[in-house]
Structure 1
Amino acid sequence: MIVGVMTALLSALAPATTASGSTASATTDPLRPYAQQAPRWQRCDAEHPATYTCATLKVPLDYGDPGGRTTQIAVSRLKASSVEGRRGVLLLNPGGPGGPGLDLPVSVEVDLPAEVKGRYDLIGFDPRGVGRSSPVGCGLTAEEQDLERPYAPGTFAKDVEWARTVAAKCRAAEGDRLRHLTTRNTARDMDLIRAVLGEEKISYLGFSYGTYLGAVYAQMFPRRTDRFVLDSAVDPARYGRGMFQDMAQRAGPAFTRWTEWSALRHATYGLGRTPAEVRATFWELVARADRAPVDHGGTRFTGDTIRARRAEFSRVRQAAAWVAELKRAAEGEGPDPSGGPDPSGGPERLPSPLPPTSARDVPPDNEAASAWAVLCADTPASWPRDPERYRRDAVRDRARHPLSGDFESNIKPCAFWEPGSEPRTTVAGEVPALILQNEWDPATPLAGGRAMHRALRGSRMVTVAGGEGHIVNGTNSCADESAALYLTTGRLPAKDLTC
């Protein structure tokens, strides 16, 4: 059980690795007042168990100046179901950056077995600047929040102006606060959550970008790192602009696999008897939609908006049904009278947690604003300042990766963003983490998971052969069992596994 905060901190923090990443005595630690907060836990809402409670913590905005400005972090807790078998706390992060995680302990999107819930208090939190944690807002319009911008010579000047405007609006609205919305500071916030809860170590389950956050925490606080599960991992060396370009590179093999799968099922989908025919059908459809948009399901698809759905091709059945329906619509036919597989759904996204109870207080552009704030502040060196560099890269990458290369290499607001308060973290070391990865993940490609595995030399990797889509949790019993075994016993697989 959690003991009293004051008693636990006297033993846990004297001496201890502090949330600044250094060792200090309890009497000289400038973060001690933050670590000694007594959170006012209150029931989060009436719809979930009374054991699901929420509180707000105060943390330094700038850890280099802990006596200066502060910011708030919203934290939730679902207590372990077993008092005798309780091991500690399991922090959860949904990814992003910009994803709120306060409701993850009770979200149906996170599939954890009873034995894990019995041993851990599940801890959700909205990272700084996100959701209910002093949320940032830039006053961005819906159009300004739209990331999907294919390159075209006639629209590139507008894309540059869009990127410049987003950066300028955020700077005007949030000022110097943006410099401190970084992954390293979120990791420090996590360590203060640990201290306030009276825990010597934390365990962790992070998805997508959350794998990078977890790796950074383990790098900064190795003595505080217990059992870490990283689901759908980011290549830590490519975090930044490289992440986008890696997605474009991986879209090609996924598209090729889809053409092969669809050709074997021509009788069902009518897209072509060979992969070459399927490929030709798709690109003819794109060209046709560029000439005259295709109305399907109330949405008008241009060639670019068809290409923008590139993540669909990681799920071959769903993609074949969708392209077949678009083809029928372009030819003036109605929907498949047999109903066919469901062609609906948009680009792959990380499963979203339930909306926070005070979502009405969160700026409508918070997800976009906080995502740019963290990504741009973390990785200024990966973003060229010259717009012409983006033009050249977009032209080059459209030729290399025709499905989406120009989308990923086109200019982004980070080109005009102010750097964060400190350099990014180099991820490397003996970290005994468990990495879960789908073979056909469109957002965090398999190569990125392997790169994270190499960087964390003490880790083990579970690859889901043929696994489709973004996020493994709850989709494969073999991978889920490996994660549950590690979280409950601390035993990593003896070697890397393929499920």
Structure 2
Amino acid sequence: MNIRNGRTASLLAAGAVATFFSALTPSMAFAASDASAATDPLRQYAQQKPRWQRCDAGSPATFQCATLKVPLDYNDPGGKKIGIAVSRLKASSAKERRGVLLLNPGGPGGPGLNMPVIPELTFPEEVKRQYDLIGFDPRGVGQSSPVSCGLTDEEKNDERPYKAETFAKDVEWARTVADRCWTKGVGDTLRHLTTRNTARDMDVIRAVLGERKISYLGFSYGTYLGAVYTQLFPQRTDRFVLDSATDPAGIWRGMFQEMAEGAEPAITRWSEWTAQRSTTYNLGNTPAEVRETLWKLIAQADRTPIDSGGGPLTGDDIRAELRTEFFRVQTAAERVAELKKAAEDKKSAPSGTPEGAPGPVPSAFARDVPSDNDAASAWAVLCADTRTWPRDPEQYRRDAIRDKARYPLYGDFASNIKPCAFWKQGSEPTTTVNNKVDALILQNQWDPQTPLAGAQGMHRALHGSRMVVVAGGEGHIVYGSNSCADKSLTDYLTTGRLPAKDLTCRASAGQ
């Protein structure tokens, strides 16, 4: 059941305020229960009337945008306010309309305002008949009060492998990024750029749109955002789909380390596949020979960078790039063969292009965004979401040395020092996700960004969830790749029925 936009504002405000307070501190929740409707401090947000306008001249006229106000600090709802940019594409059938489907592309730091109209996200007609598709830029991102730390291109570079001779420089980089973000006048703002507060913003969106519940589709980091919403607002959760899920118990340092761990079996699979095609790629006749070719190439690039047409690459550059490539065996074999040829004859060749999650295109709505907004907003969430980041640089050194030995391709990148070592604490501790809310989790077997083990961790945390694994599925993001999991998503969104049990299906040809 949902509350249509025509229902009265008083009903909307009463339900919304109670819900908001249920996700705040216990003392705030107690205060709310004794407050009269006239003094509810969050009533003003629930009763906003958005001023919808066309988002972009290049998009359909029915694609509309508006800006909502939310409190920067939900424990101080009468204090500073920030803007949240929201978009909508209304359901095509008023008769069949069920409610709203909020969309998030991942990140953190990923803008989602244009999600309802991006070409990569094509819903079947039965979904578009039932749902208003709702996009939004999370707080601090894109058109939603974007933050900036004034970072240079070099300071934005976070692919930093551990080396004893450069560790002091890496520590200084991490300290500089943290200090610069705090001293740019946004320190207090950064404390509140957390996943918990973005989930609360989603509930403001729900209230303003007049809905008792929301449905949701989140990719990558968006799966964690969706899971946090289910924890804070279980009674407001309708049909939730989490595509390429993170393990909520590993937020956030554990997620980086999980990427490094997951790369090693991917390399094993790739070397076996490539050895079977030695006449095609000429990288070795056995898996051991293929791996030896790879590591010799990396060592050579460390001595003399290799240029295959996209600029010179060191061995560390190649390691960072190939971490994602190895999860697509053919792509990786072609790329390594290309680099090998460039190293041998020093001739240019086209460079590879890393894959990514569905990405929104720029919108003409609102204003320009700072060039470092993606990095600044990402670090804010990564560092403020949890208080478990080590504070001692030597801990990072020890972990990087250990993990480089365990996971040679990427272990030192994952465990090396990050700005979070020097970040001031966020406004709240980490959210523990542990509930029985229904959800559908979609996962490729070979995902470089959110490995299968992370999705299994999400499945354990959401006891009411069902999981669909695409066996042999390669790459990050499942839905929209014409995989066997697409039908499960469509069935769940349109009928509300989860699969009776967890499913494993084979990847389609060419996926």
Give the TM-score of the pair, scaled to structure 1: 0.96
192-201 or 172-181: bigger deviation: 172-181
Question: Counterpart in 2 of 1:307?
Answer: 319
CA distance in 2, matches of 1:293, 1:247: 25
Deviation per CA, 1:234-278: give whole Å up to 9, x if none: 000001100000100000000110000000000110000100000
Alignment partners' CA distance in 2, 1:360 and 1:325: 41
Tell me the equivalent position of 1:379. Answer: 386
Counterpart selection for 1:89 from 100, 120, 124: 100
- The gaps in structure 2 that reach 5 residues or longer are 24-28, 506-511
Assess, with a 3 A threshold, how the Cα gap between structure 1 residues 419 and 271 changes in structure 2: closer, same or farther: same
* Percentage of identical aligned residues: 70
Q: Residues 195-214 of structure 1: CA distance to partner in whole angstroms, max 9, x if unpaired?
A: 00000000000000100000
- Structure 1 residue ranges without an equivalent (≥5): 337-341
Whole-angstrom distance in 2 between the partners of 1:291 and 1:400: 23
Q: Is the 8 A contact 1:15 1:26 kept in 2?
A: no
The C-alpha deviation readout for 1:384-410, integer Å capped at 9, x for no partner, is 111111111111111111001000000
Aligned counterparts, 1:175-194, within 5 A: 175-194=187-206
Compute the displacement of 1:359 (Å). Answer: 7.9
Q: 1:312/1:444 Cα in 2 relative to 1: closer, same or farther (>3 Å)?
A: same
- Asked if residue 282 in structure 1 is aligned to residue 294 in structure 2, the reply is yes
- Worse-superposed segment, 27-36 or 431-440: 27-36
From 109, 120, 135, the equivalent of 1:124 is 135
Aligned equivalent of 1:38? 49
Secondary structure, aligned partner of 1:355: coil
Deviation at 1:28, TM superposition (A): 4.3
**Residue 172 (structure 1) aligns with:** 183
Aligned with 1:195 (options 204, 207, 215): 207
TM alignment of 1:439-458, pairs within 5 A: 439-458=445-464
Q: What CA distance in whole angstroms lies between the structure 1 residues aligned with 2:351 and 2:218?
A: 29
Instruction: Report deviation, 1:423.
Output: 1.1
Q: Which amino acid counterpart does residue 61 of structure 2 have in structure 1? A: A
Note if contact 1:163-1:412 (Cα within 8 Å) is conserved in structure 2.
yes
Partner amino acid, structure 1, of 2:364: T
Instruction: In structure 1, give the amino acid aligned to 2:456.
Output: R
For each residue in 1:68-87, what CA deviation from the matched residue of structure 2 results, as whole angstroms up to 9, or x when unmatched? 11010000000011111000
C-alpha displacement of 1:349: 2.5
Deviates more, 1:233-242 or 1:41-50: 41-50
Structure 2 residue 23 is matched with structure 1 residue 11: no
- Residue deviations 1:85-112 (CA, integer Å, cap 9, x gap): 0000000011111000000000112232
**Corresponding residue for residue 219 of structure 1:** 231
Deviation at 1:187, TM superposition (A): 0.6
Q: Which residue number in structure 2 is paired with residue 327 of structure 1?
A: 340
Across the aligned residues of Structure 1 and Structure 2, the Cα RMSD in angstroms comes to 1.6
Report the Cα offset of residue 231 of structure 1.
Answer: 0.3
Partner residue of 1:339?
A: none
Is 1:495 matched up with 2:506?
Answer: no
Give the Å deviation of 1:3: 4.2
Relative to structure 1, the CA distance from residue 68 to residue 277 in structure 2 (aligned partners, 3 Å threshold; closer, same or farther) is same
Task: Name the SS for the 2:68 alignment partner.
Answer: strand
Aligned to 1:263: 275
User: Aligned-pair distance for 1:2?
Assistant: 7.2
The alpha-carbon deviation at position 47 of structure 1 amounts to: 1.2
The residue that corresponds to 2:411 in the other structure is: 405
Partner of 1:70: 81
- 2:219 matched residue in structure 1: 207
Could you say what secondary structure the match of 1:308 adopts? helix
Q: Please show how residues 388-467 of structure 1 align to structure 2 within 5 Å.
A: 388-467=394-473
Q: 1:19·1:189 contact (CA, 8 Å) conserved in 2?
A: no
- Whole-angstrom distance in 2 between the partners of 1:306 and 1:370: 27
Scaled by the length of structure 2, what TM-score is found?
Answer: 0.93
CA distance in 1, matches of 2:376, 2:136: 18
Distance 2:249 2:263 in 1: 20
Q: Summarize the Cα distance change of 1:404–1:320 in structure 2 as closer, same or farther, 3 Å threshold.
A: same
Aligned residues: 491
1:89-144 CA distance string (max 9 Å, x none): 00001111100000000011223211111100000000000000000000000010
Residue pair 1:111, 1:473 contacting (<8 A) in 2 also: no
Query: Helix, strand or coil for the counterpart of 1:108?
Result: coil
Q: What is the match of residue 372 of structure 2?
A: 365
Tell me if 1:344 matches 2:356: no
**Counterpart code for 2:334:** A
2:242 paired residue number = 230
Instruction: From 478, 484, 492, give the equivalent of 2:490.
Output: 484
Separation of aligned partners in 2, 1:435 and 1:28: 40
Query: CA 1:359/1:245 → structure 2, altered by over 3 Å: closer, same or farther?
Result: farther
Which piece of structure 1 moves more, 261-270 or 105-114? 105-114
Using the alignment, how far apart are the partners of 2:60 and 2:169 within structure 1?
Answer: 50
For 1:205 and 1:90, locate their aligned partners in 2 and report how far apart those are by CA, in whole Å.
Answer: 7
* 1:355 CA displacement: 1.4
CA distance in 2, matches of 1:472, 1:462: 10
